Chain A
């Protein structure tokens, strides 16, 4: 079996969590528990107060807090190699841990592109030294993301790639994509697609609609995405290939995904916290933090995405964490690069905006935030005796303002900066090791600790 997740070696966690409300939608757990973690594994589960604390093991009073399986993000940009001024494996995984993630999948649109086993190999070697949580890597479908020649997909799979994507760009040629789908029969690995028809999106910088009409900025119509979802759903069906649609943004794409599934295609989809909670109305501020690709769309689209996530047509949440340096975003909207950070805020954003408002159930949210690795064949984190400790402890009542303590990410281009959110991640254990922890006010045993690499307000 080829190893597909990589992190720096860290000591296994030894912790007793007392009285946390454990929710694991896959095992059906939904009540208070003591959880003993020993050697980085879940050693015992018991009723609150029932487990004896082994001598020397730190005990935390987690009463009133929620314990979930660790989240898995199938779509992040860690900017390594080549753009470490935006993010690197250390800061990116610190940001992920701060958001309750116990695994992330990194995109290959780096500099150089992850399009050869050599580049992937050096990246994996670096992850083995720097990553605070397990990281999986996608390789590109085409060399240099040029959309012309396939990468050595079989070699890349053997070197550890969990799948393939040209994310950031669509595979414009149906012929090239078809060959990749055929080649998947040899090498396996999901093919993930950023769907956009450049002939329709053109020089667009935001959603095409009333807001772009007002602002005079070139629009990216919804059909730029949905027509490609429809095309590639048909190709996936024809080749019986496994295809995943990345960061879906509009109602028409949800419809196209549903149609492809009904027709029998092996396809799946993801949606990002910003598309699930924000609309193009935010762009009226002309603030470049709201510039991303695909763009924020309308309230109708947002609702369609939430419904699709609730019903499972869209299987998982993906942040599309896209860090950019301050100077890159501090320019007029049309000139700014696309993307928002997302790892540190994903759960709180979705909990605050969708769960407390009643649009989405808490257990469903937890399920969708932990499902992202399964589609790449990664093990889904579970809270069960004997399983590796991949979990996060969250105070659902804790409110905070995004950015008030700085960010763990090297970049601060959060579309949610300044928002008041509810649901703070107190502790993340990833790959069996403590990757993030904050002080718990109620417990004297909890030592305040700032994660190394945590950055302040200035950059």
Chain B
């Protein structure tokens, strides 16, 4: 479908769908869309007359709103379906919901599901391009792309950059997509967290794993994961107090020059201290801002392809 040949798939299900060239192609496109976001009229007609369906089976603020904004800024018609209050609530199966929505002939379906593999299944049931906005604890590829975009803007390139991902890796789709994306862009990745929250054999994804922050000084970038309170009740950690004492990223542990990222929403005072969130070392606001431009780029690359951009933007 893509005339420049960078994207290997007509869908974006996994970072595995993208080689380094394809990632760079999307990020380059996102740069030009970021410029649009700075204008007073933040809209281009690239997807005029086309429909984008956002199908969210899980709570989401950042991802759903930025996908909606991205599609609207490309002039697409947007339909957002959330599980609460929809036919999903009445027990309709994923397949029937997708086939019903596909009858409206959407150009793209953006899906968020609590279950791994949902986006891939949807791709088998529709002619639309499918974008995975998070499937269970499996992947969240657009988050990884916006994180790479944010870092690339700050550092130029990720080659040999030392990135630590800290926290609950087991339950994090962001961690999985980011390990893949960061290493694909040439970075070295270390995951760090309580041994109860680091999956067995995680090293097979191409990262290192360590249970302590002792070597955190090596990191140029510290990517902090959200610590979910319910994990405490499941006894993955004895208490949030002990977790914070061992793994919180704060000014005491950070050296000047180390960058801090977080996919949000943050638990202030748990995985990140308040002063770190608000410090210039934190790129959290940049990440959120990048979300719209990167998701515009993903929609554009999947639905339009490259050669028209000059004319559009």
Contact = CB atoms under 8 A, between A and B. Distances in A.
B116 interface: yes
Interface stretch (B43-51, B198-206, B255-263, B272-280): B198-206
A219 B171 CA distance: 12
8 contacts: A213-B199, A213-B200, A214-B204, A215-B117, A327-B93, A330-B121, A333-B117, A335-B115
Given A331-B93, A332-B115, A332-B116, A213 B201 contact: yes
Contacts, number: 67
Nearest to B95: A330
A334 B200 contact: no
Interface string B82-117: 000000000001110000000000000000010111
Contact of A286 (B117, B170, B200, B201): B117
The 10 residue pairs across chains A and B that have the minimum distance between CB atoms: A216-B137, A286-B117, A332-B115, A210-B204, A213-B199, A210-B201, A216-B138, A332-B118, A334-B115, A213-B201
B137 A208 contact: no
A433 B216 CA distance: 73
Nearest to A202: B234
Contact of B176 (A210, A214, A286, A327): A214
A217 B136 contact: yes
Given A210-B204, A214-B205, A333 B95 contact: no
A209 B138 contact: no
A332 B137 CA distance: 13
Contact of A216 (B93, B116, B118, B120): B116
A286 B121 CA distance: 9
Nearest to A213: B199
Contacts of A215: 116-117, 138
A213 B205 CA distance: 8
Interface residues of B, number: 26
B73 interface: no
Contact of B200 (A208, A216, A327): A208
A213 B202 CA distance: 6
B11 interface: no
Contacts of A335: 115
A332 B94 contact: yes
B112 to A, nearest CB: 12
B201 A332 contact: no
Given A216-B138, A216-B176, A217-B137, A332 B121 contact: yes
Interface string A418-439: 0000000000000000000000
Contacts of A214: 176, 204-205
A330 B97 CA distance: 13
A332 B123 CA distance: 12
Nearest to A286: B117
Given A331-B93, A332-B94, A217 B116 contact: yes
Interface string B134-161: 0111110000000000000000000000
B173 interface: yes
Contacts of B135: 332
Contacts of B136: 216-217, 332, 334
Contact of B201 (A209, A330, A334): A209
A212 interface: yes
Given A219-B199, A286-B121, 19 more contacts: A209-B200, A210-B204, A212-B200, A213-B200, A213-B202, A213-B204, A215-B117, A216-B136, A216-B170, A216-B171, A216-B176, A216-B199, A286-B117, A330-B121, A331-B93, A331-B95, A332-B136, A333-B117, A334-B136
Contacts of B117: 215, 286, 332-334
Contacts of B170: 216
B133 to A, nearest CB: 15
Interface residues of A, number: 19
A334 B116 contact: yes
Contacts of A221: 200
B94 A331 contact: yes
Contacts of B201: 209-210, 213
A330 B199 CA distance: 27
Contacts of A327: 93
Interface string B235-260: 00000000000000000000000000
A223 to B, nearest CB: 11
Interface string A189-223: 00000000000000000001110111111010100
B173 A216 contact: yes
Given A327-B93, A331-B94, A334-B136, A212 B199 contact: yes
A71 to B, nearest CB: 34
A54 B9 CA distance: 66
Interface string A211-247: 0111111010100000000000000000000000000
Interface in A377-431: none
Contacts of A213: 199-202, 204-205
Nearest to A330: B95
A286 B115 CA distance: 11
A214 B199 CA distance: 9
B205 A219 contact: no
Nearest to B121: A332
A330 B113 CA distance: 15
Interface string B29-68: 0000000000000000000000000000000000000000
A34 B167 CA distance: 71
Nearest to B96: A327
Contacts of A330: 93, 95, 121
A385 B270 CA distance: 78
A216 B94 CA distance: 20
Contacts of A209: 200-201
Given A216-B138, A334-B136, A286 B202 contact: no
A274 B92 CA distance: 32
A332 B204 CA distance: 24
Nearest to A206: B116
B99 to A, nearest CB: 11
Contacts of B113: 332
Nearest to B172: A216
Contacts of A208: 200
Contacts of B171: 216
Contacts of A217: 116, 136-138
Contacts of A331: 93-95, 115, 121
A75 to B, nearest CB: 28
Interface in B152-205: 170-173, 176, 199-202, 204-205
Contacts of B139: 216
Contacts of B121: 286, 330-332
Contacts of A334: 115-117, 136
Nearest to B180: A214
Nearest to A209: B201
B95 A286 contact: no
Contacts of B205: 213-214
B167 to A, nearest CB: 14
A331 B202 CA distance: 26
